[in-house]
Chains A and B, each alone.
Chain A
Amino acid sequence: MGRKLLLEHINVPGINTFDVYRSKGGYAAVEKALKTLTPDEVVEEVKKSGLRGRGGAGFPTGMKWSFLAKPEGVPRYLVCNADESEPGTFKDRYLMTHIPHLLIEGMIIASFALGAKTSYIYVRGEMMPQIRILEKAIAEARNAGFLGKNILGTGYDLELYVQPGGGAYICGEETALIESLEGKRGNPRIKPPFPAIAGLYGCPTVVNNVESIAATVPIIRDGGDEYAKIGIGRSTGTKLISASGNLNKPGVYEIELGVPVEEFIYSDEYCGGIANGKRLKAVVAGGSSVPILPANLILKTINNESRLMSYESLSDGGFATGSMMGSGGFIAFDEDQCIVRNTWNFARFYHHESCGQCSPCREGTGWMEKVLHRLEHGHGKLSDMDLLVDVSKKIEGNTICPLGDAAAWPVASAIRHFRDEFEWHVTNPTEAVSRNFGLAHYADPLSKPEEVA
């Protein structure tokens, strides 16, 4: 059994209440931080832990905190990113629903470390039930003296508020989130300046994912060095994986980074194998934005090594034969799923969610959706695959925010690895409407390095 640092008490009845959470050792890390450590010492522990941002980019959290500008007389802000909208990702909602005080405790620790006196949790608007849960948890923590003025008699003041979004994936991007929190459309800002210099209301701001903030609780409780002992290489600690698709036991799992992908999919401790006795065809390992891999390449790297659930191993092989950890949204496709249809669905998603500021993203996502729609519906041409790759290349790297890349990668990778399935849709248009391509060779053992398109 892997160690659980975040979900250890998830099954304890009443763990969503302050009293039960406290009885399980909750808020001890706040006491330790506020009473025995300086803000800089808290930052130092987080640095030592090796924690990497859990929102998708994997940027070291301690380093991000140490970049925060601290001009005299200017307020600093911590904003928690609870916008969770990346298809395939549902860990933050799960954590906030079942163990909200873990996030509140982390917010107090992180706010203290950064010197923030007002902090916001930006929750996507659709999560009204979770907003109510968090507001109740905040009220409980305040009643117990963990929020408000002079927390635990230490002289530290903190106000914590929950802010709802309005329904827009782009508001997960940190500068769009800040715009939205200022009451505007979620149009990402041009960087620099980075939020660490000029964020909310033009003040220095840190934006962190729910899970990153929650992870500071065990880090402060046990020490950064202890946390860093878990995991493998630069992938330290535990990670919440959202497992969805055609699995026997989809759900949220806390893993020690470094678990083999094969074990994660097939062992009973985790997903328990593919549903309905079917075979695995493909996996999107880190949320819809990361490259899709066929079964053989997700289980093994191109060098025939077992692939692990870690930042490094998932990206082993680069874009040619690897993928990314991303937000940890692990989507499994069984042999009956159509890659073309799914690629079209994702392209539609990104077109719908493009904020429209940059032409390559606004127009390119629309073109990709249209071309994929005609491929899926039996009207495609053999030249469409090159056209899609061409459009994706024109988006990639040419936009204000990474949504453009996030839209381009799934399409480019699907064509890279499943080109024959796309071609089959063109050459067998009537058949492709009534049945699927099936597993084909996508789970065959890797014999030689794949030809890279």
Chain B
Amino acid sequence: MLRVENVNHAPVEFSAALLNKFADLVSRYPEGRQKSALLPVLHETQAELGWLSVPAMDKVAAYLKIEPIEVYEVASFYTMYFLRPQGKYMLEVCRTGPCCLVGAEKIMDHIEQKLGVKEGDVTADGLFSWRGVECLAACGFGPVLQIGPEYTFYENLTTELVDKLISDLKAKANN
């Protein structure tokens, strides 16, 4: 059993739409190689549930006919999978060298101040979290930021653009 402390691992249900997506994904690989669908299946699961709880991962394991440990070891290896709940909007800012040459650190400081939470924490209203991530392959258009689960992408960031983005997201969430 994977231990992720201080979170509520309640039982989960997968929607019919999600299960349909799983079936399409599994069909892309040869017979018996359904484990290849694990990464995309986890992305879809996280898009629906917001994060990957232990019961969700166990259900994925059962669906793909693999051991739960095979899911845990993958979910904990890759950075995109959240093993605990995040804000509804996770702002991920590139913190790697080339973006730092054009002001990425200033953008991260600004976001921290604006949201009033440290990297990795969730705002009290549950709407936002933020973190620095590694190079997002857009270094010539830095600083850059992405927001899952669609991974909408924002380039050439300024503090003004960040302010606008955050207030737009707040408005969207309250509608």
A binds B: yes
- Residues of A at the B interface (CB closer than 8 Å) are 75, 84-90, 92-93, 118, 124-129, 159, 161, 163-169, 180-186, 201, 242-246, 250-252, 288, 329, 331, 333-334, 337, 341-342, 345-346, 349, 352-353
Known contacts A166-B78, A184-B74, A349-B96, A331 near B138 by CB under 8 Å = no
Q: Across the interface, do A183 and B134 meet the contact criterion of CB distance under 8 Å?
A: no
A-B contact pairs, 27 of them (CB 8 A): A87-B135, A88-B98, A89-B135, A89-B137, A93-B137, A118-B30, A125-B78, A126-B137, A128-B149, A129-B151, A163-B39, A164-B39, A164-B43, A165-B39, A165-B78, A166-B77, A167-B78, A167-B79, A167-B133, A183-B74, A184-B74, A244-B142, A245-B102, A250-B139, A288-B135, A329-B98, A349-B135
- Residues of B at the A interface (CB closer than 8 Å) are 28, 30, 33, 35-40, 42-43, 64, 66, 70, 73-74, 77-81, 95-98, 100-102, 133-142, 146, 148-153
The CA-CA distance from A232 to B135 in the complex, in Å, is: 31
Q: Across the interface, do A169 and B102 meet the contact criterion of CB distance under 8 Å?
A: no
B140's partner among A84, A92, A180, A242 (CB-CB below 8 A) is: A242
Contacts of B39 in A (CB 8 A): 125, 163-166, 180, 183
Contacts of A128 in B (CB 8 A): 148-151
Q: Across the interface, do A90 and B74 meet the contact criterion of CB distance under 8 Å?
A: no
Q: Across the interface, do A84 and B102 meet the contact criterion of CB distance under 8 Å?
A: no
The CA-CA distance from A186 to B40 in the complex, in Å, is: 15
A90's partner among B36, B102, B139 (CB-CB below 8 A) is: B139
Contacts of A159 in B (CB 8 A): 28
Q: Across the interface, do B101 and A186 meet the contact criterion of CB distance under 8 Å?
A: no
Beyond A126-B151, A349-B135: 11 further Cβ-contacts under 8 Å?
Answer: A90-B140, A124-B137, A126-B137, A164-B39, A166-B77, A186-B78, A242-B140, A244-B140, A245-B102, A342-B100, A345-B97
Q: Across the interface, do B77 and A185 meet the contact criterion of CB distance under 8 Å?
A: yes
- Could you count the A-B residue pairs with CB atoms below 8 Å apart for me: how many are there? 154
The CA-CA distance from A124 to B43 in the complex, in Å, is: 12
Contacts of B37 in A (CB 8 A): 183
The CA-CA distance from A243 to B81 in the complex, in Å, is: 30
Listed residue (A86, A161, A245, A333) with the most chain B CB atoms within 10 angstroms of its CB: A245
The CA-CA distance from A331 to B101 in the complex, in Å, is: 9
B135's partner among A85, A164, A245, A337 (CB-CB below 8 A) is: A85
Known contacts A182-B35, A184-B74, A349-B135, A251 near B140 by CB under 8 Å = yes
Q: Which residue of A lies closest to B64 (CB)?
A: A183
Contacts of B101 in A (CB 8 A): 244-246, 331, 333-334, 337, 342
Question: Which 9 pairs from chain A and chain B are nearest by CB?
Answer: A166-B78, A183-B38, A167-B80, A167-B79, A250-B140, A128-B151, A244-B139, A183-B35, A87-B135
B36's partner among A183, A329, A342, A345 (CB-CB below 8 A) is: A183
Q: Across the interface, do A186 and B77 meet the contact criterion of CB distance under 8 Å?
A: yes
The CA-CA distance from A169 to B39 in the complex, in Å, is: 15
B134's partner among A87, A161, A245 (CB-CB below 8 A) is: A87
Q: How far is the CB of B47 from chain A (nearest CB, A)?
A: 9
Contacts of A84 in B (CB 8 A): 137
Q: How far is the CB of A100 from chain B (nearest CB, A)?
A: 15
Q: Across the interface, do A331 and B97 meet the contact criterion of CB distance under 8 Å?
A: yes
Known contacts A166-B81, A183-B36, A201-B30, A349 near B73 by CB under 8 Å = no
The CA-CA distance from A334 to B33 in the complex, in Å, is: 50
Contacts of B149 in A (CB 8 A): 128
Q: How far is the CB of A172 from chain B (nearest CB, A)?
A: 10
Q: Across the interface, do A127 and B137 meet the contact criterion of CB distance under 8 Å?
A: yes
The CA-CA distance from A446 to B138 in the complex, in Å, is: 34
Q: Across the interface, do A88 and B139 meet the contact criterion of CB distance under 8 Å?
A: yes
Contacts of B141 in A (CB 8 A): 90, 250-251
Contacts of A251 in B (CB 8 A): 140-141
Known contacts A85-B134, A166-B74, A168-B78, A346 near B97 by CB under 8 Å = yes
Known contacts A166-B42, A180-B39, A331-B101, A129 near B152 by CB under 8 Å = yes
Known contacts A161-B28, A333-B101, A337-B101, A252 near B77 by CB under 8 Å = no
Contacts of B80 in A (CB 8 A): 125-126, 166-167
The CA-CA distance from A168 to B96 in the complex, in Å, is: 14
Q: Across the interface, do B97 and A349 meet the contact criterion of CB distance under 8 Å?
A: yes
Q: Which residue of A lies closest to B43 (CB)?
A: A164
Contacts of B146 in A (CB 8 A): 126
Known contacts A244-B139, A244-B140, A164 near B40 by CB under 8 Å = yes
Q: Across the interface, do A331 and B78 meet the contact criterion of CB distance under 8 Å?
A: no
Q: Which residue of B lies closest to A165 (CB)?
A: B39
The CA-CA distance from A246 to B139 in the complex, in Å, is: 11
Contacts of B81 in A (CB 8 A): 166-167
Q: How far is the CB of B46 from chain A (nearest CB, A)?
A: 10
Q: Which residue of A lies closest to B41 (CB)?
A: A183
The CA-CA distance from A14 to B165 in the complex, in Å, is: 28
Q: How far is the CB of B51 from chain A (nearest CB, A)?
A: 14
Contacts of A92 in B (CB 8 A): 137
Contacts of B79 in A (CB 8 A): 166-168
Q: How far is the CB of B68 from chain A (nearest CB, A)?
A: 14
Known contacts A86-B135, A168-B79, A243 near B140 by CB under 8 Å = yes
Q: How far is the CB of A94 from chain B (nearest CB, A)?
A: 8
Contacts of A125 in B (CB 8 A): 39, 43, 78, 80
